[in-house]
A and B are shown apart, each in its own frame.
Chain A
């Protein structure tokens, strides 16, 4: 168990809908990262938050947004969903340096 909790584990939704993925980082970790992994692909960095503030942005679509709350949990919001958004979405956390620990991921299926 990495200590990073993601909910839900699975999500099936229709095109055009909006969903929210939730992440609780390891205790004491200030940084939260979101990654997207499409089928049999590598990990694409979406966005990073550090202690409540956005720190870095990767290839995140405008339809996607995220935030980190005062208790350090983070949410990734995906709107106007398309079939191509179907993927495994990972949250990871770290103390701001060194390695990141990953949650089990949320498998999103858009139908």
Chain B
């Protein structure tokens, strides 16, 4: 079974600055997917970014980018030019190659301060 660990329960960042959220995971599989989901106060789960394990290139979506270290089983999320709307819970998630359920980390609560 896979496990996903987010070691930072809470973080804060000043508006316009950069913040990095950490995530580590454990798996014996070689092909898999990793995701970051955002849950704002509305409680909706929004997909932020995805990474395929077979791709060496780190995924980027506008101000969001990841640092994927497969050997270290690490998958961090960097948010550049933080905006007030980035305030949310962020969940790291692991997905296998067979479409089975996602395994989520415990979440990191991010507060962007003006």
Q: Which of B50, B98, B106 contacts A42 (CB 8 A)?
A: B106
What's the Cα separation between A60 and B102 when bound, in Å?
A: 15
- A25-51: CB near B (< 8 Å → 1, else 0) gives 000000101000100001101001010
Note all chain B residues with C-beta closer than 8 A to A88: 43
Q: Which of A2, A56, A97 contacts B101 (CB 8 A)?
A: A56
Contacts A58-B101, A92-B45 aside, 20 further interface pairs with beta carbons under 8 A come to A2-B44, A33-B102, A37-B43, A42-B104, A42-B105, A43-B91, A45-B101, A56-B101, A94-B99, A95-B99, A96-B99, A97-B99, A98-B95, A99-B33, A100-B95, A102-B45, A102-B46, A104-B43, A105-B43, A105-B45
Contacts of A90 in B (CB 8 A): 45
Q: Is the interface of B mostly helix, strand, loop or mixed?
A: loop
Cβ B50 vs Cβ A98 within 8 A: yes
**CB closest residue in chain A, given B99:** A96
Main SS of chain A's interface residues?
A: strand
In this complex, how many residues of chain B approach chain A with their Cβ under 8 Å: the count is 22
Binding site for B on A (CB under 8 A): 2, 31, 33, 37, 42-43, 45, 48, 50, 55-56, 58, 88, 90, 92, 94-102, 104-105, 107
Known: A42-B91, A42-B107, A43-B91. A100 touches B43 (CB 8 A): no
- Chain B: minimal CB distance from A91 (Å): 10
